[in-house]
Amino acid sequence: MRIIKVDAIDSTNRFLKDLNRVQKLVKPVCVIAHEQLRGKGQMGTVWQSDPGKNLTCSVFMRVDGVLLSDQFYISMVTSLAVFDVLKDFMASKVSVKWPNDILSDRQKICGILIENIVKNGSLVGVIIGIGLNVNQTEFDQLPMAGSLKKILGKNIDVNEVLDILLKKIEKRFSELRAANYQLIKNEYESILFRKDKPSTFEGIEGESFVGIIKGVNPEGKLQLLLEDEVVKTFGLKEIKLLY
């Protein structure tokens, strides 16, 4: 995979979007930043990262044959790729907090932001922004943030993490076809944080309620078993899992 290393940059996702606009990318490309000044998370949140201590990168992957209605499978395989990396490093109790925050021992260790590239109504590629905490141990006002160093007690080579991550992403994307969707979904659901356990959620109006995570539907909405024994689905902006 082609790798572009930059020093300080606003956003690796924006850098790749601009590069794709000019070069019309067809092969995988990764841009990695020593310092990302305005890294973004889900729903506009800011990703906090000390310069040089973590892996802040974006990856362009071409996508063929994935319908827009099936785009959440891209999120699933990306989450599984990061999961694979953390298991290689022997991180403990790794799980995915829906939709694609990666946890270890309940601490958030990785955030993922995926942006689609659509042409003539068809999905042709994706830009995957990944913030993986590697050697940072102090996080301002983020008590649930973790890192590989906090978990393993030692410094980790960020370039080594990048090399493994890119291989895992390419492997997982090679499996991204309709015939494998059910297997992908099953594997993703098997590592969902709080799956099959009563958990507290906050609804769109700020109300709290208890539900049990059963899985996701093909569109990526969370399926909850509620107290009245009814399974209901919720989108990303409709619900928040409380720790």
Express each pLDDT in 177-188 by its tens digit.
999 999 999 999
Q: What does the pLDDT read at residue 142?
A: 77
Q: Which residue has the higher pLDDT, 173 or 48?
A: 173
Check: CB of residue 168 under 8 Å from CB of residue 51. Answer: no
Instruction: List the end-to-end C-alpha distance of the chain, in Å, as a whole number.
Output: 38
- Kindly report the three-state secondary structure assignment for every residue of 18-79: HHHHHHCCCCCEEEEEEEECCCECHHHCECCCCCCCCEEEEEEEECCCCCHHHCHHHHHHHH
What are the structure tokens assigned to 172, written together? 């997982």
Confidence bin at 104 (pLDDT 50/70/90): very high
pLDDT digits (tens, 9 = 90+) for 19-51: 999 999 999 999 999 887 755 555 455 555 677
Query: In whole angstroms, how far apart are CA 196 and each of 1, 29, 40, 209, 213?
Result: 38, 38, 30, 15, 5
Going by their DSSP bridges, the two strands 2-9 and 29-36 should be labelled as: parallel
Average pLDDT over residues 107-124: 94
Q: What does the pLDDT read at residue 223?
A: 98
What mean pLDDT value characterizes the chain? 92
pLDDT digits (tens, 9 = 90+) for 203-233: 999 999 999 999 999 999 999 999 889 999 9
Q: How far apart are CA 214 and CA 231, in angstroms?
A: 8
Check: CB of residue 73 under 8 Å from CB of residue 184. Answer: yes
For residue 86, what is the enclosing H or E element? helix 72-88
Can you name the residues that pair with 6 across neighbouring β-strands? Answer: 33
Q: What does the pLDDT read at residue 43?
A: 47
SS3 state at 194? coil
Q: How far apart are CA 128 and CA 4, in angstroms?
A: 15
What are the structure tokens assigned to 147, written together? 């890192």
Q: Counting Cβ atoms within 10 Å, is residue 183 exposed (0-12), middle (13-18) or buried (19+)?
A: exposed
pLDDT digits (tens, 9 = 90+) for 118-171: 998 899 999 999 999 999 998 877 778 999 999 999 999 999 999 999 999 999
